[in-house]
């Protein structure tokens, strides 16, 4: 697909909202991942809501990266899935794979909101790392070798 030159020029400004949203989703998923791991360990399977929420987070990350790297002009949309999951008595539409189209249940949407809120909270309340290497400014920052005595 041919890319619009103005869109390429302003890609940074256009991508800022989805970069922030995707960052919050990814961070929230990392925060809640140990709980997902315990659920998998105890039950021996991944619940459908956890799978759908994880697929939605990974899909939004991939689509944002593709947009940011100028591989596609398509802006991120439908973070919460392509449509509602079919009810138990309803026949699902034909699917190309378990994630295409990504049909998200109500439980997975609630889980996605929890992941998003956790990501926002983590980004605001997590202290920034201190990358300074000199903890004590009175100490010299270099090694002084002893001078040989004559």
147 assigned to some structural domain: no
Q: How confident is the model at residue 66 (pLDDT cuts 50, 70, 90)?
A: confident
Whether the model pTM is above 0.85 = no
The predicted structure's pLDDT at residue 77: 76
Lowest mean pLDDT among 32-41, 90-99, 101-110: 90-99
Check if the beta carbon of residue 64 is closer than 8 Å to that of residue 76. yes
d(Cα 119, Cα 64) in Å, to the nearest integer?
A: 17
User: What total number of domains does the chain contain?
Assistant: 1
With residue 96 as reference, give the H or E element that holds it. Answer: none
Residue appearing with tokens 């030159």: 5
The predicted structure's pLDDT at residue 96: 58
140 assigned to some structural domain: no
Residue 44, token pair as written in the block: 């021996």
Tell me: pLDDT of 126 over 90.
no
Q: How confident is the model at residue 136 (pLDDT cuts 50, 70, 90)?
A: low
Q: How confident is the model at residue 86 (pLDDT cuts 50, 70, 90)?
A: low
* Structural domain span for residue 121: 5-82+99-125
The predicted structure's pLDDT at residue 104: 78
Beta-bridged to residue 97, according to DSSP, are: 100
> Among positive and negative, which fits the CA dihedral 87, 89, 103, 52?
positive
133 assigned to some structural domain: no
Check if the beta carbon of residue 126 is closer than 8 Å to that of residue 70. no
d(Cα 28, Cα 17) in Å, to the nearest integer?
A: 17
């Amino acid at each position: 697909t041919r890319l619009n030159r103005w869109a390429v020029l302003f890609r940074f400004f256009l991508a800022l909202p989805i970069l922030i949203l995707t960052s919050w989703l990814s961070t929230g998923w990392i925060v809640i991942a140990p709980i997902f791991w315990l659920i998998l360990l105890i039950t021996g399977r991944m619940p459908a809501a956890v799978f759908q929420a994880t697929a939605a987070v990974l899909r939004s990350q991939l689509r944002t990266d593709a947009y940011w790297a100028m591989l596609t002009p398509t802006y991120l949309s439908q973070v919460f899935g392509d449509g509602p999951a079919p009810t138990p008595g309803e026949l699902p539409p034909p699917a190309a794979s378990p994630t295409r189209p990504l049909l998200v249940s109500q439980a997975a949407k609630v889980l996605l909101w929890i992941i998003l809120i956790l990501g926002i909270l983590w980004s605001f309340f997590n202290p920034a790392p201190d990358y300074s290497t000199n903890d004590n400014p009175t100490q010299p920052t270099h090694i002084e070798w002893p001078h040989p005595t004559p």
